[in-house]
Amino acid sequence: MAQRGEGQGLQIAVISFAILAIVLAGTAYFFFASAQSAQKELDAGKKRAADMQQQNAKAMHRIAAMNYVLGLEGVAKPDVEVAKGAAGGDDPKVKELLDNFEADIALVGDQVAPDGAKSYRTFTMALIAALNKKNANIYKQESEKFAAERTQMEQDKTTFTSTVTNLKSQSGSALQKVNDEKEAVMKQNTRLMATNQQLLEELERLRSKQSGLKEQPDGHILRVDQHLRMVWIDVGRADGLLRQTTFAVFDHDENGYSAKKRKARIEVIDVQDHMSEARILEDSPANPIISGDVIETPAWSPGQRIHFALALKMDINKDGVDDYDLVRNIILLNGGMIDAELRPDGTRIGNIDANTRYFVVGQRPDENTSNDTLKKFNTFYQDSQNFSVKKIQVNELLALMGWKSEERTVELAGQRGGALGQPMPKKAVTPAAEGAAPPGGAAAATTDPFGAPAAGAPAAAAPVDPFAPAAPAAADPFAPK
């Protein structure tokens, strides 16, 4: 029993010893793990302390640099270098600050604390001192300039006052002189107006002696041949008449003629000394041409050439096409003279004078007319007013000349020719032509530019009228053959 008891005690002791060993081993491990953790925390704390010290050194470096550039606490550049070494080297921000400071100080140079430490404080004081000095100089200069200008203004004022006084003194006599000259000019103008009126009256008197529109006829009908559609008139080469001149025919009475409306139109085709042959362009069976009727054209009078002035576009047949050149050529072909022209394109040719009889008025300027052409027309119109030139519309002029646009027609039979298929009768011999020298003689060659050439001289082609159909003198060109 005793052995059994000893064996159980030993077992208990061994078990207790084992439990104690386990507990001791666990406690030792726990304390070892705690020591390791504490060591790690100590190392981390030391590292953090070193980092904080490094950050503090950098902060002190920056503070030292700021104090240096601001001139605070007596910090000099060597102190900044010491702080730089403690911070472990250059700080980019501190370097940028110092570089900018050096550049700013260099702008002013030795003016910033030449005998002391340089800083932004001394830099600002130097700028203020420089500005004050500059302002003082400017103020002094401006004050001197103002004083000089004020003195000059006083002198100018004195001079101006003296000049005004002199001008007032002179203006009285000058005004009196101007008034005297004005009165003299007005008197002269009155005399000129009276003289101009006398000249206009004299011009009208001279013009009244000239044959004009229905003032006295240009000629008379001597003989009519309705079968041949021919007439003979009492004016010819000796009166300056040219071939292709057109006339308007009017009724006559014992005093000349009184009809206001033309009754027919004729065109001269053969000119002799004191008589001419003309073809009938237009007439009326109800009021035919008879001997004694009078003829009239504004472009020609016996022994005279009528002068004209033309202006701007002329549309005689209302087709929208300008007929200016046509009107011009008609006047020239009828013996008229053109003194002045204002062409539709604004070109002015010639001048209106006392010889100009008629102003042929075309279309008036409108909104499409250029300013230059409008100015020229106003001047042209004023010239016609100054010479009292009679204005006449282009259609009225052409009607009085016996001209109008013709259409060629061919009659098969009737009064103007023989029956269809029969030959035309021979040309009648005019009374004056019997026994007279042929119109192609020497006298005709030297007088009528449109007549036949002299005997032995080379034949020259007669000018062709582009505005009327050509016709032989002996027959109606529109009659059937």
Task: Write down the pLDDT at residue 113.
Answer: 60
Q: Would you say residue 159 lies in a domain? A: no
Q: Would you say residue 478 lies in a domain? A: yes
Work out the pLDDT band at 114, boundaries 50, 70, 90.
low
Q: What is the CATH number of the domain that holds 384?
A: 3.40.50.10190
- The answer to whether 452 touches 315, Cβ cutoff 8 Å, is no
Q: Find the domain containing 371 and state its range.
A: 298-401
CB atoms within 10 A of CB 479: 17
Task: Write down the pLDDT at residue 171.
Answer: 83
- CA atoms within 13 Å, Cβ hemisphere of 102: 8
48 and 105 belong to one structural domain? yes
Task: Write down the pLDDT at residue 110.
Answer: 66
66 and 16 belong to one structural domain? yes
CB atoms within 10 A of CB 297: 27
Measured CA to CA, the distance from residue 133 to residue 140 in angstroms comes to 11
* Two tokens, residue 80: 């900044």
440 and 459 belong to one structural domain? yes
Measured CA to CA, the distance from residue 310 to residue 363 in angstroms comes to 11
Task: Write down the pLDDT at residue 94.
Answer: 84
Q: Is the pLDDT of residue 413 over 50?
A: no
388 and 433 belong to one structural domain? no
Strands 219-225 and 230-233: antiparallel
pLDDT higher at 46 or 480:
46
Q: Would you say residue 435 lies in a domain? A: yes
281 and 302 belong to one structural domain? no
304 and 329 belong to one structural domain? yes
pLDDT higher at 260 or 161:
161
- The answer to whether 226 touches 415, Cβ cutoff 8 Å, is yes
Task: Write down the pLDDT at residue 115.
Answer: 61
pLDDT higher at 133 or 256:
133
Most confident of 99-108, 248-257, 378-387: 378-387
Task: Write down the pLDDT at residue 254.
Answer: 59
Q: Would you say residue 365 lies in a domain? A: yes
Q: Is the pLDDT of residue 418 over 60?
A: no
Q: Would you say residue 60 lies in a domain? A: yes
- The answer to whether 80 touches 68, Cβ cutoff 8 Å, is yes
Q: Which of 236, 238, 269, 233 is nearest to 249 (CA)?
A: 233
CA angle 424, 425, 429 (to 5 degrees): 140
Task: Write down the pLDDT at residue 206.
Answer: 66
Task: Write down the pLDDT at residue 379.
Answer: 92
Work out the pLDDT band at 415, boundaries 50, 70, 90.
very low
Task: Write down the pLDDT at residue 463.
Answer: 39
- The answer to whether 212 touches 358, Cβ cutoff 8 Å, is no
Measured CA to CA, the distance from residue 401 to residue 331 in angstroms comes to 9
pLDDT higher at 216 or 372:
372
25 and 98 belong to one structural domain? yes
Q: Read out DSSP for 211-280? A: --TTTS-SEEEEEEETTTTEEEES--GGGT--TT-EEEEE--BTTB---SS--EEEEEEEE-SS-EEEEE
270 and 316 belong to one structural domain? no
96 and 16 belong to one structural domain? yes
Domain boundary, last residue among 111, 144, 172: 111
Q: Would you say residue 184 lies in a domain? A: no
3-state DSSP of 13-27: HHHHHHHHHHHHHHH
369 and 431 belong to one structural domain? no
Q: Which residue has the tokens 């279309």?
A: 363
How high does pLDDT run on average in the chain?
A: 76
DSSP helix/strand/coil, 350: strand
314 and 375 belong to one structural domain? yes
pLDDT higher at 437 or 305:
305
* pTM for the model: 0.37
Task: Write down the pLDDT at residue 268.
Answer: 93
Work out the pLDDT band at 4, boundaries 50, 70, 90.
low
pLDDT higher at 481 or 49:
49
Q: Which of 446, 471, 399, 432 is nearest to 233 (CA)?
A: 432
The secondary structure of residue 110, as a DSSP letter, is G
In tens, the pLDDT along 238-251 reads: 888 888 889 999 98
What is the tally of structural domains in the chain?
3
Work out the pLDDT band at 437, boundaries 50, 70, 90.
very low
H or E, element range at 300: strand 300-301
284 and 425 belong to one structural domain? yes
Measured CA to CA, the distance from residue 450 to residue 60 in angstroms comes to 127
Measured CA to CA, the distance from residue 64 to residue 70 in angstroms comes to 10
Q: Would you say residue 21 lies in a domain? A: yes
Domain boundary, last residue among 52, 76, 111: 111
Beta-bridge partner residues of 231: 224, 278
Work out the pLDDT band at 208, boundaries 50, 70, 90.
low
Q: Would you say residue 193 lies in a domain? A: no
Q: What is the mean pLDDT of residues 105-132?
A: 72
Lowest mean pLDDT among 31-45, 80-94, 147-161, 207-221: 207-221
Measured CA to CA, the distance from residue 413 to residue 337 in angstroms comes to 41
Q: What is the mean pLDDT of residues 196-214?
A: 63
Q: Which residue has the tokens 């904080």?
A: 52
In tens, the pLDDT along 309-345 reads: 999 889 888 888 899 999 999 888 877 889 999 998 8
Q: Report how far Cα 455 is from the mean position of its chain's Cα atoms.
A: 62
- The answer to whether 112 touches 127, Cβ cutoff 8 Å, is no
Task: Write down the pLDDT at residue 278.
Answer: 96
Q: Is the pLDDT of residue 387 over 50?
A: yes
Q: What is the mean pLDDT of residues 297-310?
A: 83
Q: Which of 333, 335, 240, 223 is nearest to 280 (CA)?
A: 223
* Two tokens, residue 268: 């001269």
Beta-bridge partner residues of 280: 266
* Amino acid at the residue 202: E
pLDDT higher at 361 or 113:
361
Q: Is the pLDDT of residue 471 over 80?
A: no
Domain boundary, last residue among 88, 111, 134: 111
- CA atoms within 13 Å, Cβ hemisphere of 411: 11
Task: Write down the pLDDT at residue 467.
Answer: 39
